[in-house]
Amino acid sequence: MKGLIQRVSEASVTVNGEKISAIGPGLLLLLGVEKDDTQNEARDLCRKILSYRVFPDEQGRMNVNVQDSGGSLLIVPQFTLAADTGSGTRPGFSLAAAPDMANSLYQNFVARARAELGESRVGEGRFGADMKVALVNDGPVTFMLETGKKG
């Protein structure tokens, strides 16, 4: 499972011209689910993202996580993060999870994040939709986080 996090001043998701979710300061998470991922990877990545220290402390060092900063989390499903880009000039998607499994793990991730941060601090995109994602990247600060690979 892969998560691209961006520290944002604000972010939103629009589907069919309707803004379905928006946050103020916090993290925008683009979440990719791979075919070998399980609930364990969802749990581990959620824990890592919520505790990852990317917000400044009193000295200006990245030493505060989204939970302690009071920020929000906007979770957007992003199957293209699971693309195989190792060769050629066209991505392959053989590493991506099947849609039903990916949606289930995505929903599991969202539920875990809401249990930790609270319902009002977690927004989400719409699985399988053509989404327009807007953000103001703060910093810019962007990190790719992954769960450990099995095998």
Please name which of 20, 110, 79, 129 lies closest in space to residue 12, comparing C-alpha atoms.
20
Q: Is residue 109 part of a domain?
A: yes
- Euclidean distance between CA atoms 90 and 135, whole angstroms: 27
What CATH number is attached to the domain comprising 101?
3.50.80.10
Say how many domains are in the chain. Answer: 1
Average pLDDT, whole number, for the chain?
95
Whether 142 has a pLDDT exceeding 60, the answer reads yes
Whether 33 has a pLDDT exceeding 60, the answer reads yes
Q: Is residue 113 part of a domain?
A: yes
Tell me the catalytic residues: 78-80
Q: Is residue 100 part of a domain?
A: yes
- Euclidean distance between CA atoms 30 and 34, whole angstroms: 13
| Residue type for position 62 | M
Mean pLDDT to the nearest integer, 130-134: 98
Q: Is residue 53 part of a domain?
A: yes
Q: Is residue 35 part of a domain?
A: yes
Q: Is residue 7 part of a domain?
A: yes
In the chain, helix, strand, coil percent, each to 5? 30, 40, 30
Whether 151 has a pLDDT exceeding 50, the answer reads no
Q: In terms of residue numbers, what domain contains 127?
A: 2-146
What is the per-residue pLDDT across 70-123, written as a single tens digit (0 to 9) for each? 999 999 999 999 999 988 999 999 999 999 999 999 999 999 999 999 999 999
| 53, 89, 126 from 97: Cα distances, Å | 29, 21, 17
